[in-house]
Chain A
């Protein structure tokens, strides 16, 4: 029994070769490789990129039925149409960053709720990656005030799209392949993708020059692997532990990898590609915050489970914010700035 072997299929929501998500440290293929190595080949996971086996957003259902596909790699907010609460496990607009988000998941009851939300789908979630804070996005024209958002065509999927609509913009849906072209040609005025490294790979700096920060809409985008429940339960305890530990390792590895790449990429974009990088005016943030508050509280009251997740998240956030204000935030402002002056 201990030597039973598992040959599994994992679909993903990503095109083949997409760094961070599909290839490279902490990605979907890296997760499969780690699991195979740690289990000495007892679990083999064949990874399929989007459209190879099923279209990008159909892998969740495939893993849910679990007979052909046992796992899917993606982001929880893609499943908001199936269960609105899923949104919270990827990232929450104006929510917590990497540290707080992971602290909530691991120690603040987040993981338990995550499992509860996916229970009807017969899926077990594992957090496997984090992009860190994403930028707000690329704009063809400078943003000087809230008025600049009126009628602005912006490529923004999910909840953030609704929030932009609430402040007067038009959220557009576009396939990934059209993103660069649409922005470059002006069919849309603004777009967001992942972060400096991934955005540069897509060439967005050649399409627009105003790059705004910081990503209020996705402060800590987490990626997930969902495992079919029956497949999960068929695993002996040691292999379950291997899966969990491979996920935890990918989570930290992917974040570390992208943090390093983003630092280089941002320097390159600003120094070599005439990209204007900076914050948006306060009145924009103010309006976005108010819209987020209204929309989130409205949607959270829609169903019981979302309300529960919402309350858990924001209760944890309030507590964690107080600690972070006196640790991370203080360090990043007062201590770091002084430190840079003296230590260089």
Chain B
């Protein structure tokens, strides 16, 4: 049997194994080893330690634990939670106001933490019961929270952008700058959708009732905005500003963010030893699991090379008609489909490097733009039923009354919005490229 067929079987076996529910890191490594031994008696695996070593000592990836620390710290000290309460109140008079607040907090949490899991869990625990109590339609409430909580994936700083910068050999700063407007565009489209919904189906998204609004004075609200929203906002601006403004390298800015999050928590009187210790533990767990998947993916990647899988990809791309745009759309479609099953780490670490040589052949495409298209596409994969991670995270913490189908149905409009945003990005590359060019990246 030609090696390429074994490579194809390996990919299929991986999907099957992942679906059984065994941890992704073990599935990817096991499949790589098994098919490597079948195809080439495993001799290529002697190169494995070099690849693992390259992963755990990678300067770009060093920013991951630091950004995770910053996010977990803001989450554990309930800074993010407080943000949601205050903004929810501030936008209360509007039909759909609370949903708008969820989107806004999603943007802020996305910029502050960028950890989709944490954002979804916090938003679900905090906002979902409130939204339901106020008479929001369950599907709308679930969809809004999932979409908002996932914004951190595209709004910088983001782990996806960090890993993409590493695999595509791009500057983290220029990717962060390029992702900012597309991320905000996406949030804006969400808001527009909610406005439309409020206009036609006001009963699905009722406004905060007068009694509840009256309970908090305007002065109190303004004070809360200053004490609860401003500090984390300032931290986010400082971190993003110093990366995009080029004052500090991304890893350094991430360290500033980590230390800054402690300072913000301390200023707000929420830093304590148990919280610090809990933050460290959770940070270690999230970081270790991201790296574990990256490390385990090395087995798969090596086996894929050893099985001449790159010829398979080459044959596939040669078969695609339509020139550069045909290739690009094919790649985006493939990533979208893979996104149903695979996680962003595998897509960015295994799939994207295989596609890069073909896109590098088209100098008319900016690599930064392609990276943002991929990031936006991955964003979608978080929300696509049945395996979107955001949906899975939400199901884990949602109240008992919420059915899986509520979450799935609620996500659909947002997936459509995401695909539309992706289309806009393909049609108008300047959405991504304008900011980095304007500030001279």
Contacts and interface: CB of A to CB of B under 8 A. Distances in A.
Partners in one complex: yes
Interface of A: 15-17, 51-55, 58, 61-62, 65, 67-69, 173-178, 180-182, 184-187
Given A52-B305, A54-B54, A178-B172, A184 B47 contact: no
A77 B435 CA distance: 39
Interface in B1-55: 43-44, 46-47, 50-51, 53-54
A58 B50 contact: yes
Nearest to B44: A68
Interface of B: 43-44, 46-47, 50-51, 53-54, 59-60, 165-166, 169-174, 245-249, 252, 302, 305, 353, 356-357, 360, 440-441
B245 A62 contact: no
Given A52-B305, A187-B248, 10 more contacts: A16-B360, A54-B47, A54-B54, A58-B53, A62-B47, A67-B43, A175-B60, A181-B441, A186-B247, A187-B252
Contacts of B60: 175, 177-178
Contacts of A67: 43, 46
Most B Cβ at <10 Å: residue of A62, A69, A181: A181
B281 to A, nearest CB: 30
Contact of A54 (B51, B171, B247, B353): B51
Contacts of A178: 59-60, 171-173, 249
Contacts of A51: 54, 353
Q: State the 4 A-B residue pairs at the shortest beta-carbon distance, nearest first.
A: A185-B246, A55-B54, A181-B171, A58-B50
A184 B174 CA distance: 11
A82 to B, nearest CB: 14
Nearest to A186: B246
Contact of B249 (A180, A184, A187): A187
A176 B441 CA distance: 16
Contact of A16 (B171, B247, B357): B357
A188 to B, nearest CB: 9
Contacts of B252: 187
Contacts of B440: 184
Most B Cβ at <10 Å: residue of A17, A65, A68, A69: A68
Contacts of A177: 60, 165-166, 169-171
B59 A174 contact: yes
Contacts, number: 80
A69 B305 CA distance: 13
B59 A184 contact: no
Contacts of B302: 53
A184 B441 contact: yes
A62 B46 CA distance: 8
B43 A68 contact: yes
Given A54-B54, A175-B60, A178-B171, A187 B47 contact: no
A61 B50 contact: yes
Nearest to A62: B47
Contact of B47 (A53, A176, A180): A53
Contacts of B54: 51, 54-55, 58
Contacts of A52: 305, 353
Nearest to A187: B249
Given A52-B305, A68-B44, A182 B249 contact: yes
Nearest to B310: A52
Contact of B173 (A55, A65, A69, A185): A185
Given A54-B47, A65-B46, A186-B247, A17 B171 contact: no
Contacts of B170: 177
12 contacts: A52-B353, A54-B51, A55-B51, A58-B53, A58-B54, A175-B60, A177-B60, A177-B169, A178-B171, A178-B173, A181-B171, A184-B440
A205 B169 CA distance: 19
A315 to B, nearest CB: 38
A225 B343 CA distance: 39
Contacts of B51: 54-55, 58
B246 A187 contact: yes
A187 B249 CA distance: 6
A184 B172 CA distance: 13
B50 A55 contact: yes
B78 to A, nearest CB: 34
Contacts of A15: 169
Given A174-B249, A186-B247, A180 B169 contact: no
A173 B59 contact: yes
Nearest to A54: B50
A181 B245 CA distance: 10
Contacts of B248: 187
Contacts of A68: 43-44, 46-47
Most B Cβ at <10 Å: residue of A178, A184, A186: A178
Given A174-B249, A177-B171, A53 B305 contact: yes
B37 to A, nearest CB: 15
A181 B50 contact: no
Nearest to A55: B54
Contacts of B53: 55, 58
A61 B47 CA distance: 9
Contacts of A181: 171-174, 246, 441
Contacts of A61: 50
Contacts of B59: 173-175, 178
A186 B244 CA distance: 11
Contacts of B357: 16
Contacts of A184: 246, 440-441
A173 B58 CA distance: 12
Given A52-B305, A176-B169, A180-B171, A185 B245 contact: yes
A187 B244 CA distance: 11
B294 to A, nearest CB: 13
A68 B246 CA distance: 42
A179 to B, nearest CB: 9
A48 to B, nearest CB: 8
A203 to B, nearest CB: 11
Contacts of A17: 360
A191 to B, nearest CB: 13
